[in-house]
Amino acid sequence: MKNTGILKIGSFLFFILFLSQVANGGPTLAGRQNIERPETYIFHQLYPGIGSPMGIAFDSNNTMYVASYYHIAKISNYRSANPTIEHPTEFQIGQVTDVVVTYLFGADGRRHKYLYAANCLDSRVRNYNFDNSTWSIFAPLPYPQKQFGKPNSLVVDPYGKILVLDYATQNNSMYYRIQKFNANGTLISSWSAGDDPAKSVFMNPKMAIDRTGKFLFVSDPLNHDVIKCTVGVGNNPGAKVAEFGSDALGLPAGLAVDAAGNIYVADENKNRIVKLSPTGSLLSAISEIKGPGSEQIYPKTFLNPKAVALDPYTGYLFVSDTGNNRVISFEIKRGFPISLPGASTSSTTTSTTIGRLMPGGTIIESFPIPTVTYAPASPTTTTYYGGPGNVLIPPSTTTSTYVPVPGGPTGAAPSAPTSSTTSTTMVP
């Protein structure tokens, strides 16, 4: 009994140590890094005929807006198989580098929908009121003054504040500047987001905000990295807290941040989209268009992509393939367990596999995890379900204790094996 107890404790500690190593980037399996989050980017939809697309915004009415050098494109029913691409006359306001859509409460207590657009050439930010179909200048100053240098990127924080990234000049030196405004255009604060960008004025820096509204990420093309800033509490300005990505990035442009804090970057001169961890480690990259329905698409590679966006309603990744005058969306298929550890009535050695599925449930890749030895346990059955977004759907046969598997659901680690029989069910 004493030896059995020692075996249980030793096996448990080994299991936890191994999973900790995998979660932190090692060991590598089958020659791949970051195997705990295998991903496949599967083609979903093509939106052609958009001249030099840049920033992308979505509204709650299944409409997407895309900034371009010539106008703002409007794509109705963009989540359907038959979207409608329009170029409305009222959206032909010159070169637009970025757009955001927000809903603000008015004095009448109702929510009102607005579209903000960064007009780079005329150094203005404009906002469009959907209630009366009119444009106005955001944060205007008395003529001939202008509030902005060359506004290049816009975000709205969770509290309805508008943040604008532009170029400013001070003492004959240019720098990236972020200005934070109330929705009515009142300036709250401003701060520098980067070093002298005089050589990169036309390199398309962008920014994105995380879900908490606490951190802002700014692409710095000149230095080939991403700058992380605080947003600033109340009237206080934000501040730069970190820089990362220089080892992996070529010419970073548009950014998007997912719910886990990972950063998607349009790597313009390398013609790809890369995914970075919250600390800047390279997790994955996409440079080709693959998946069912992509057979007739040409070219199958990106050309100078300048923007990315994550649809808040579907989680799909949208890419402004600027050089090819199109926007493309991808479903992100994340890995999840496809077989689980079990145990018998005596000490036994089992293994776990992490895999990826194509639509329909076909296994396209699987990566073994080194074996783990478990102590005896009473027979039970544990079933995991995987699906889009790596979701665990507990069936009636699932026990209350889950095994933490890299890339899968997390929970309390078992002190003994969870099952003598493993039932594996995969839901695409």
Closest to 47 in 3D by CA, of 11, 74, 17, 20: 74
Residue 98: per-residue pLDDT: 96
Closest to 421 in 3D by CA, of 392, 395, 404, 399: 399
Band (69; pLDDT cuts 50, 70, 90):
confident
3-state secondary structure of 14: helix
> Do strands 381-384 and 421-424 pair parallel, antiparallel, or not at all (unpaired)?
parallel
Contacts of 397 (CB under 8 A, 6+ apart): 381, 382, 383, 423
pLDDT digits (tens, 9 = 90+) for 155-214: 999 889 999 998 877 666 677 889 999 998 999 999 887 655 444 444 678 999 999 999
3-state secondary structure of 384: strand
Residue 335: per-residue pLDDT: 57
Q: Is the dihedral of CA 287, 291, 297, 298 positive or negative?
A: positive
Is-contact 297 320, C-beta < 8 A?
Answer: no
Residue 345: per-residue pLDDT: 35
pLDDT digits (tens, 9 = 90+) for 13-41: 454 444 454 444 443 333 333 334 457 89
Q: What percent of the chain has pLDDT over 90?
A: 45
Rounded distance between C-alpha atoms, residue 313 and residue 159, angstroms = 19
Give the tokens for residue 394.
């507990």
- How do the residues of the chain divide into helix, strand and coil, expressed in percent and rounded to 5? 10, 45, 50
Least confident segment among 139-148, 333-342, 347-356 = 347-356
Domains of the chain: 29-37+336-424 (no CATH), 39-334 (2.120.10.30)
Q: Is the bond preceding 299 in cis, omega lying within 30 degrees of 0? A: yes
Position 411 pLDDT exceeds 70: no
Residue 168: per-residue pLDDT: 73
Please name every residue paired with 274 in a beta bridge, in sequence order, or none if there are none. Answer: 265, 285
Write the DSSP symbol of residue 182: -
Residue 371: per-residue pLDDT: 35
Interval 92-110 mean pLDDT: 91
3-state secondary structure of 424: strand
pLDDT digits (tens, 9 = 90+) for 269-302: 999 999 999 989 899 999 999 988 898 899 999 9
Interval 399-404 mean pLDDT: 35
Report which secondary-structure segment, H or E, holds 317.
Answer: strand 317-321
Rounded distance between C-alpha atoms, residue 269 and residue 266, angstroms = 9
Indicate the Cα dihedral angle 157, 161, 163, 168, nearest 10°. Answer: -160
Q: At which residue do the structure tokens 């009448």 appear? A: 108
Contacts of 191 (CB under 8 A, 6+ apart): 177, 178, 229, 232, 237, 238, 239
Residue 391: per-residue pLDDT: 43
User: Does the predicted TM-score (pTM) go above 0.85?
Assistant: no
Rounded distance between C-alpha atoms, residue 120 and residue 139, angstroms = 15
Is-contact 130 182, C-beta < 8 A?
Answer: no
Q: At which residue do the structure tokens 């039932």 appear? A: 423
Band (428; pLDDT cuts 50, 70, 90):
very low
Tell me the average pLDDT of the chain: 74
Contacts of 387 (CB under 8 A, 6+ apart): 336, 393, 427, 428
| SS3 per-residue string spanning 48-88 | ECCCCEEEEEECCCCEEEEEECCCEEEEECCCCCCCEEECC
